[in-house]
Amino acid sequence: MSNFPSNAVFVEDDDTSILYEPSRGAWSHTNDPRYSNASYHYATAANASALVGFRVEPDYVWLLAERTSESGRFSVTFIPSSGLPIHRDSKTETYIGIVVIFEADVPQGATEMLIQTEEPGQRLGVDQVVRLRPATRSTSSLSGSDQSPQSTPAGASTPTGSQASVSQSGATSTTSPSQRASYSSSTSTTSGLSSSAGSATSGFPPPMATPIDTGESAAQRTLPIGAILGIVIGSMLALLALILAAFLCLRQQRQRQLSKIEPVEAGDPPRLTVPGRTVDKSKFPETSASSAMGTTPTVSSGPSSTSQERALRDLSAAMSQSGMSVDSLFAALQRGRVQSINNGHPDETLPQYTTVTSSIETVALAM
């Protein structure tokens, strides 16, 4: 056992010693005493003859052997590539690891063989269908492919009208030995199931690895990435929608505020708004006066200095009659509360002097 290489499978039958090393990914024949005397000494079946076929998958290997006593009767061994060979003797019911070996009678002309798998103490009911290509012993070859697992009772016949059957206890076939098919040991790699010669001088073909079908589609494998992208894109769209809604709300509010302001049309008189009242300046002609300390004011609307003096005298007389002093006039003018001064007549206003821009010193000097 110590001489046996790590992580390798060793199988020996009556004619050939076979070694499978997963690290090399290949089968090889050997008569090396280190392996022929190793503790891992497995025959493909209790009464098996030369190994006539095998199939290598990424995680297991099928071995197919033909009995010497009865032509057409095969035994199958399942060997995982992880290391330990797995073998079941259908007669002694002894187990090592997971059990996947059965004997089957294959009548002449059969095209497939059903192999049932089970674990110690528990029947799984998982079936594997191995397709056969029968021919004469001199030119025959063996090929096969896995089919979808089907749950059938132990010992049930193969599907699709096949003549092959499964026997757990080595039961004899309903057909006569003369009707059983015979197979040669010539090498063949058709459809991934290979057969090889039973002599020590011939070589096995390299294993044909097949990707493990987990039943999971590409869309299912990328589902987490799609979900994350969907969440990110959805969040960004929601944020953009919130920003757009806030912008539209502010725009509507702005439009409502602007709609409350009355537009000024062409030809409307200018309006001066002061606290408490609105002064319509169109009722009075614009006048302006500019002066300096100690000088006579100049009124732009008057034709001459004589008219200015007359206007100032009239203003002084009006102030005297109404009892308004210069200080109170100036204070009223600064507050913007004076529109006109009644000249002894309640309904008559003084034209030309409703807008006074001179200082109090200028008014005093003019009077």
Question: Residue ranges of the domains in the chain?
Answer: 9-194, 271-366
Residue with tokens 């497939």: 112
Give me the mean pLDDT over the 314-341 stretch: 68
Reference 54, options 6, 91, 16; nearest CA is 16
**Tens digit of each residue's pLDDT (9 = 90 or more) over 269-324:** 555 444 455 555 555 444 444 443 444 444 444 445 577 777 777 777 777 777 77
Other C-beta atoms lying within 10 Å of the C-beta of residue 47: 17
Mean pLDDT (whole number) for 98-103: 37
The pLDDT of residue 251: 92
Contact 350, 318 (CB under 8 A): yes
Burial 106-122 (b: 16+ CB within 10 A, else e): bbeebebbbbbbbeeee
Note the pLDDT of residue 226: 80
Given a contact cutoff of 8 angstroms between Cβ atoms, the answer to whether 316 and 367 are in contact is yes
198-218 tens-digit pLDDT? 333 233 333 434 444 445 555
> Which range has the worst mean pLDDT, 103-107, 244-248, 253-257, 263-267?
103-107
pLDDT at 179 over 50: no
Q: Is the pLDDT of residue 149 over 90?
A: no
Residue 362 buriedness (CB in 10 A; 0-12 / 13-18 / 19+): buried
Q: What average pLDDT is seen over the chain? A: 49
Q: Has residue 144 got a pLDDT over 50?
A: no
d(CA 188, CA 171): 30
Residue 84 predicted with pLDDT over 80: no
**Cα atoms in the Cβ-side hemisphere of radius 13 Å centred on 314:** 15
pLDDT attached to residue 261: 67
- Taking residues 154-181, what's their average pLDDT? 31
Query: Backbone phi, then psi, for 51, in 5-degree steps?
Result: -70, 125
- CA dihedral (223, 229, 232, 234) positive or negative: negative
Lowest-confidence pick of 71-75, 112-116, 208-212: 208-212
Q: Where are the beta strands (DSSP E) in the chain?
A: 9-12, 17-21, 26-29, 48-56, 60-67, 73-80, 87-88, 95-96, 103-105, 112-119, 122-131, 193-194, 271-274, 277-280, 289-290, 298-299
pLDDT at 258 over 60: yes
Is 50 exceeded by the pLDDT of residue 265?
yes
pLDDT at 301: 47
249, pLDDT greater than 90:
yes
Sign of CA pseudo-dihedral 295, 301, 307, 308 = negative
pLDDT at 82 over 70: no
Phi-psi category of residue 276: left, alpha or beta, with phi > 0 → left and psi -120 to 50 → alpha: left
Give the pLDDT of residue 248.
94
Tell me the mean pLDDT in the region 72-76. Answer: 51
Name the most confidently modeled range: 78-82, 160-164, 263-267, 327-331: 327-331
Condensed to tens digits (0 to 9), the pLDDT of residues 236-248 reads 999 999 999 999 9
- Summarised one tens digit per residue, pLDDT across range 7-16 is 444 444 444 4
Q: With beta carbons less than 8 A apart as the criterion, state whether 13 and 51 touch.
A: yes
Least confident of 43-57, 138-152, 287-301: 138-152
